[in-house]
Amino acid sequence: MSSARLYFLCLVALLVVAPPASANLLVDLSHSQQEAVAKGELVVLEEEILGKPWPKIRIYKRVKATPEEVAAVFFDYNQAKTYIPDLLNSKISKTISPLVLEVDYEVEVPILKDEAYTARNEMKAFEGGYQASWVLLRALQTKAAQGNLRIEPFESGESVIRYTNLVTPSSGMAKILRGPALARMQKTVLAIAHKVEEQESAHPTELNLQIDHLRDALEASENSAPDKEETKKP
């Protein structure tokens, strides 16, 4: 067998065993950026949006935990204040459905008054992964915000996450806090990854409870969905 044919067969084998789910999430990244994610580095993309003072942010990170473990830790919103940088408080204030919750947050803000806001968070599961989305309902200083955390498999027992956020601050916050706000988003992603990995290695019992809570919410949401036959129009 020629060396060229052997190389081709090896390449085909690599493509066959490559995890397809992670490729879906990383498809917008260059080859070098994908390599950076694979090495565990943070990859940050900024997209300027017409009429918005702050860019839309996308941050990618490899996490040494399964998608379910990542989703379970993130879904435990009351605990966010224990590991997210500068987050003074986080508390579920209203349950819309098992997977849709309103959460009150309070964040320490440099120079200006601390920010208090309420977001509506929604968790969804799809084949192989999860997505948590949020939208700002009300706030003291922020005009609008929406984003999501996409979680997909990456190699055996690991995940890749993509944090997306677009925030529209008040005019007083726009110039002063642009740099610190974008840096905080990066710290947030690192904190999420670190917390999940810490739970997996040092607090497995607590992590299992978080996983059970997520599974219960998913099951309750599925059971509470209206039956298609019952809702079908005559």
- pTM beyond 0.75: the answer is yes
CA 155 to chain centroid: 18
Q: Are 58 and 45 in contact (CB under 8 A)?
A: yes
pLDDT digits (tens, 9 = 90+) for 96-106: 999 999 999 99
Domain range 19-221, CATH class: alpha beta
Q: Greater confidence, 7 or 28?
A: 28
Evaluate if residue 200 carries a pLDDT over 70.
yes
In this predicted structure, which of 17-21, 59-63, 67-71 has the lowest mean pLDDT? Answer: 17-21
How far CA 42 is from CA of 112, 125, 232, in Å, comes to 29, 24, 47
Instruction: Report the chain's mean pLDDT, rounded to a whole number.
Output: 88
Chain Cα centroid distance, residue 61: 10
The total number of residues shown for the chain amounts to: 234
Residue 66 has pLDDT above 50, yes or no: yes
- Share of residues in the chain with pLDDT > 90 (%): 77
Which helix (H) or strand (E) covers residue 73, if one does? helix 67-75
Domain boundaries, the chain: 19-221
Say if residues 118 and 104 touch (Cβ distance below 8 Å). Answer: yes
Instruction: Please report the pLDDT score of residue 167 as a whole number.
Output: 97
